[in-house]
Amino acid sequence: MIATLDLTDIPAEDEAFRAEVRAFLKQTIGHLEPDIRARSWMGFNADFSRSLAERGWLGLTLPTQYGGAGKGPFARFVLSEELLAAGAPVSAHWIADRQSGPLILKYGTEAQKQFYLPRISKAEAFFCIGMSEPNSGSDLASIKTRATRTDQGWTLNGSKIWTTNAQHSDYMIALVRTSGETADRYKGLSQIIVDLSLPGVTVRPINDMAGDAHFSEVFFEDVQCPVDALIGTEGDGWAQVNAELAFERSGPERLYSSMVLLESWLLHCRQTGADDARTAAALGTIVSWLAVLRSLSISLTAKLVRGESPAIEATLVKDLGTEIEQAIPRIIGDVLGSTPEAEIPASLRRTLVYLEQLAPSFSLRGGTREILRGIIARGLGLR
């Protein structure tokens, strides 16, 4: 059952971190055009990630003994909000910092922690997630990619799709079948850390409608992974993945994909003196949704601080967040389109067009709407 979320504030010491981050971002990336800022968490820039690492801002929640900063999830929430608000290119380190590192910390062996976590904290190891597959999509229980145990380790065969930034990553944490058949659904699944430079790995980028290539297809043909590529317990992959997805689905990036468009539109409204009823109603709708969703996301962060795994609650927030992320370009586009004779700044138009093209993918990444609602229904005891 879904538990009640407590109304929570970000602690004062973590809020104080916000000013330091803003000063750094002002100095390093300065002003960016809105349509560039809109690409923030899909923007890949390894040098920028390394500049964060030099300040100790990668692996922020990892223990100091593994090269992390030993801070809590609230500090990372503040850092994430500021990076996304500024339009910083965070994609290089995003997945490793957000979920691969915490996953390895929770389920990895001591040797895995010693090897991977310092590299993540130094921006020396970038990760992607190997979950979705052709003909499976977000139905992760139906995956077919298989890792077969051998005397030397694991032999990997199969493929993944919609893998974010696989073409730039060093490692993938792949959900694979190590026993049983596809019909067994949740049984026999395990997680394997795959070195993407190994022979037999082929990565093919996929171009999206906006002309960017954030996603990839990844093929495995008799890839020989070592014994210690297995992370956690063989056969417990389903439970591990659901714990990992709580990190992916609860964060502020699920709310902020269209934020730069809202900011650009508000600036345009102020400059033109727009105060009509249609504009006010649109703004009221967006702000009221965002205020609630941000409170929910902060409450989930409090659960992570307490060491809980709010998988169901995070799924609910992700589903609601996707609704508003997709609605913002539509709502603003409708308001602007209601006065076609009015001039629109070029930067606002470019940002709107980009997000209108990208918005359909918001309900695919991190789990489709249909899959998420099935998980929520099970959480409510309705399935």
Query: Which pLDDT band, with edges at 50, 70 and 90, does 110 fall under?
Result: very high
Nearest CA to 120 among 69, 167, 77? 69
Task: Count Cα atoms within 13 angstroms, Cβ side, for 259.
Answer: 22
CA dist., res. 32 & res. 88, Å (int): 9
Four-residue CA torsion sign, 17, 94, 238, 139: positive
pLDDT at 229: 97
CA dist., res. 59 & res. 25, Å (int): 18
How many helices (H) and strands (E) would you count in the chain?
13, 8
Read off φ and ψ for residue 161, nearest 5 degrees: -145, 160
Condensed to tens digits (0 to 9), the pLDDT of residues 177-211 reads 999 877 777 789 999 999 999 999 999 998 877 77
CA dist., res. 307 & res. 109, Å (int): 19
pLDDT at 137: 64
Size (the chain), residues: 383
Mean pLDDT, residues 204-231:
90
pLDDT at 250: 66
CA dist., res. 146 & res. 72, Å (int): 36
Nearest CA to 204 among 219, 193, 194? 219
Question: In the predicted model, what is the mean pLDDT of the chain?
Answer: 90
Query: Which pLDDT band, with edges at 50, 70 and 90, does 345 fall under?
Result: very high
User: Among 68-72, 245-249, 254-258, 327-331, whose mean pLDDT is lowest?
Assistant: 245-249
Query: Which pLDDT band, with edges at 50, 70 and 90, does 366 fall under?
Result: confident
Mean pLDDT, residues 335-343:
93
Mean pLDDT, residues 154-173:
94
DSSP codes of every residue in 149-160 = E-SSEEEEEEEE
Condensed to tens digits (0 to 9), the pLDDT of residues 124-153 reads 999 999 988 987 766 777 888 999 999 999
CA dist., res. 368 & res. 383, Å (int): 18
Q: Answer for the pair 29, 88: CB distance below 8 angstroms, yes or no.
A: yes
Rounded to two decimals, the pTM is 0.87
Regarding predicted confidence, which is higher, 277 or 137?
277
Q: Answer for the pair 270, 228: CB distance below 8 angstroms, yes or no.
A: no
Query: Which pLDDT band, with edges at 50, 70 and 90, does 159 fall under?
Result: very high
pLDDT at 350: 95
Residue 254: pLDDT above 70?
no
pLDDT at 317: 87
CA dist., res. 170 & res. 203, Å (int): 12
Using alpha carbons only, what angle is made at residue 115 by residues 113 and 116, rounded to the nearest 5 degrees? Answer: 70
